[in-house]
């Protein structure tokens, strides 16, 4: 999963980026509204954390322009505790949730997980697919009661497919959501990760849809 953090406070930006990366996300960062708007308008993000009080272009304007242009990614806004009007303006502009400053990073992580989960149509942090359970809160995967040993890239790929159960996901989309903007992207690495995952979770959970990409479907659903 790929996140964008738009926050002009350098220390807070770095703190959020580090915490999100530790939680298994790929994170891009911007320090002003103009840069944040550009990234959100040109890159595919699973969630965006957006400060309201930004230089160059304020957060409300950034959010309004995204929504006017049809950008539907979940957006979590950061507001000052004593500015209730910012919360109202943010929600009216198209924000999905908000956190007031100062905040605990754990709360931000929980709200990000919830926004991504809801956007994908999942009610809980656990995604089940046949014998496989993906725990997005604990960043782990379990097959028949056994916790799998996965690399960060393997878990990101598995989690993304799990959030989009039954959907065909192209290699390009997977690459865009697994790597940040500065990474030297190569779609061939996706095949390598899929091969590793199949050896760990079983070969019939991730299906190759020839010419299109991959789809995660429970084995019993395929049989039906």
Domain spans of the chain, in order of start: 2-119, 126-223
pLDDT at 15 over 70: yes
Q: What is the pLDDT of residue 86?
A: 84
> Residue 219: which pLDDT band, with cuts at 50, 70 and 90?
low
Decide if 2-119 and 126-223 have a common fold: no
Task: Tell me the CATH number for domain 2-119.
Answer: 3.40.50.2300
Question: Over the stretch 146-192, which tens digit does the pLDDT of each residue have?
Answer: 999 999 889 999 999 999 999 999 998 999 888 876 666 666 788 99
Q: What is the pLDDT of residue 180?
A: 75
CA distances from 171 to 6, 167, 185, 194, 203 (A): 27, 13, 11, 11, 18
Measured CA to CA, the distance from residue 215 to residue 55 in angstroms comes to 42
Question: Over the stretch 105-151, which tens digit does the pLDDT of each residue have?
Answer: 999 999 999 999 999 888 888 999 888 999 988 899 999 889 999 99
Query: Which of 6, 72, 82, 5 is closest to 44 using CA atoms?
Result: 72
Instruction: Specify whether the CB–CB gap between 164 and 127 falls below 8 A.
Output: no
Q: What is the pLDDT of residue 159?
A: 94
What is the arithmetic mean of pLDDT over 66-76? 96
CA distances from 208 to 23, 35, 65, 152, 170 (A): 28, 37, 37, 22, 10
Measured CA to CA, the distance from residue 75 to residue 160 in angstroms comes to 18
pLDDT at 202 over 70: yes
Which listed CATH number (1.10.10.60, 1.10.3720.10, 1.10.10.10, 1.10.150.110) goes with 126-223? Answer: 1.10.10.10
pTM across the whole model: 0.85
Would you state the torsion angle of the CA atoms of residues 54, 34, 14, 40, taken in this order, to the nearest 10 degrees? 120
């Amino acid at each position: 999963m790929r996140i964008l953090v738009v926050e002009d406070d350098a220390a807070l930006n770095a703190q959020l980026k580090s915490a999100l990366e530790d939680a298994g996300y790929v994170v891009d960062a911007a320090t002003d509204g103009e840069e944040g708007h550009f990234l959100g308008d040109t890159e595919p993000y699973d969630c965006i954390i957006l400060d309201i009080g930004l230089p160059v272009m304020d957060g409300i304007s950034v959010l309004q322009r995204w929504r006017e242009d049809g950008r539907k990614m979940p957006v979590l806004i950061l507001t000052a505790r004593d500015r209730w009007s910012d919360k109202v303006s943010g929600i009216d502009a198209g924000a999905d949730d908000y956190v007031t400053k100062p905040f605990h990073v754990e709360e931000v992580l929980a709200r990000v997980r919830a926004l991504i989960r809801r956007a994908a149509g999942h009610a809980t942090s656990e995604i089940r697919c046949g014998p496989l359970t993906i725990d997005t809160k604990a960043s782990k995967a379990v097959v028949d009661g056994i916790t799998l040993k996965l690399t960060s890239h393997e878990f990101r790929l598995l989690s993304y497919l799990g959030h989009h159960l039954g959907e065909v996901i192209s290699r390009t989309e997977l690459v865009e959501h697994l790597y940040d903007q500065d990474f030297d992207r190569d779609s061939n690495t996706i095949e390598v990760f899929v091969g590793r995952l199949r050896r760990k979770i079983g070969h019939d959970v991730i299906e190759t849809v020839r010419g299109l990409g991959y789809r995660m479907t429970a084995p019993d659903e395929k049989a039906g």
